[in-house]
Amino acid sequence: MKILGRLYKEGSAAWSDAALTTHGEEAHVFVDEQSVLRDKLVHLIVSDRLGNVERKVIFTDGSVFATSDNDGIDRLFAGHRKKLSGLLHRLESNIRSVVIALLVTTLCFFTFVKWGIPWTSSKIAHALPFSVNELIAQNSLEFLDEYIFEESKLEKNKTDQIRAHFQKIIKPIEAEHADIVFNLYFRDWQTGEQGIPNAFALPSGDIILTDKFIELCSSQDEINSVLLHEVGHVLHRHTLERIIEATFVATVVMMITGDNNGFADIGLGLGSLLLSSNYSRDHESEADVYAFEQMLAARVDPKVFSDILSRMSTYMEEAKEQSTKQDWVDYISSHPSTQDRVEQALHYSECFKKGKLHCPPNS
């Protein structure tokens, strides 16, 4: 068998028309019917097949035999080439495998984004020592105190009472997680004339309750349910997870845009924004479920959580209507998922009424 092509001397631009044949374990190159080059097949380097791109066979003296007869080369070197490179070309040329690749790629991408990233992030977050959480939270409270919060205006015996209950809840949890110290803080948070009801946890275990939140709560159980929700965030290391997830998303975005033009960035930016809000919704429900499980164990009706949640959301809605200087951004950022969370709380409340100590979440 004869393959027609061109022979180049090492590094030279000039070529002669040539033919390549094999005799047993040897390759011969002929120019004008004269044998000019011979080499053992095993010594030759054959470039990978890529579409219909010119194929190159490199000899030990650096000479290059180039040909467009890709099939000829494949047949000639059938027994001598690396399996892997041939496989790549077969994948690329077979229409069925391309369709499969398309489907698998879409599926993989979806699976990776939906479950892979949060799962891996959670594993990494829990593999790191807890002190990483303290590192992240460092100076956060000072920052918030300086720029956002004011001193709490609650009466001391009220806060002492809440603290006492908090200690009761937190003792067994701290006993289980020896490396975490939980602290409770009371702060006032105002925008304009209105107080903002909120509770949140720093990754270090510092939990902050705002005055307006305490004011809206009608029972100690309601406060406790929210505290447990915040403890859930801390134990699940959600802040750390969010950081790792953001890193993943940014890396994936970079890998996609690395292959694309700048305009695709617009769409990707929006996509990653939606993605991170999706992840944070997952975190909320995870913390909710933690709180509900704890409440079942402590024989408290999880319904109280839905009560305070609805009250807070109603308050925020009303505050918005009363306020004259609201920009339209607030319309978008209002929580659409409150309804789902309330339903989950009612589901756990049913479990409570049946006297269950554990209950699978409603998906």
User: Tokens 């040897």 label which residue?
Assistant: 26
264 residue type, one letter: A
d(CA 182, CA 230): 10
Closest distance of CB 213 from another protein, Å: 25
d(CA 310, CA 343): 11
- Phi, psi values for residue 6, rounded to 5°: -130, 145
d(CA 43, CA 353): 79
Closest distance of CB 133 from another protein, Å: 11
The residue (of 27 and 117) whose beta carbon lies closer to another protein is 117
What DSSP line would sit under 112-156, residue for residue?
IIIIIHHHHHHHHHHHS-THHHHHHHTTHHHHHHHHTEEE--S-H
- For the chain, how long is the longest CA-to-CA vector? 106
The residue (of 53 and 164) whose beta carbon lies closer to another protein is 53
The residue (of 112 and 185) whose beta carbon lies closer to another protein is 112
The residue (of 156 and 328) whose beta carbon lies closer to another protein is 328
The residue (of 58 and 154) whose beta carbon lies closer to another protein is 58
Closest distance of CB 298 from another protein, Å: 35
Q: Are 351 and 299 in contact (CB under 8 A)?
A: no
The residue (of 261 and 363) whose beta carbon lies closer to another protein is 261
Closest distance of CB 81 from another protein, Å: 15
d(CA 306, CA 222): 9
The residue (of 1 and 147) whose beta carbon lies closer to another protein is 147
Tokens standing for residue 76: 């000639």
The residue (of 16 and 337) whose beta carbon lies closer to another protein is 16
Which stretch of DSSP H or E encloses residue 100? helix 95-111
The residue (of 175 and 329) whose beta carbon lies closer to another protein is 329
Task: Provide the binding-site residues for another protein, judged by CB under 8 A.
Answer: 8, 10-15, 48, 50-54, 56, 64, 66, 88, 91-93, 97-98, 101-102, 104-105, 108-109, 112, 135-136, 243, 246-247, 250-251, 254-261, 263-264, 267, 324-326, 328, 331
Closest distance of CB 263 from another protein, Å: 5
What DSSP line would sit under 211-255, residue for residue?
HHHHHH--SHHHHHHHHHHHHHHHHTTHHHHHHHHHHHHHHHHHH
Per DSSP, the three-state class of 200 is strand
C-beta neighbour count of 284 within 10 angstroms: 18
Closest distance of CB 102 from another protein, Å: 5
Closest distance of CB 150 from another protein, Å: 25
What DSSP line would sit under 333-354, residue for residue?
HS-S-HHHHHHHHHHHHHHHHT
Per DSSP, the three-state class of 189 is strand
Closest distance of CB 27 from another protein, Å: 18
The residue (of 236 and 242) whose beta carbon lies closer to another protein is 242
Closest distance of CB 112 from another protein, Å: 7
Tokens standing for residue 22: 């094999």
**Count of residues in the chain:** 363
Closest distance of CB 192 from another protein, Å: 14
Tokens standing for residue 120: 């891996």
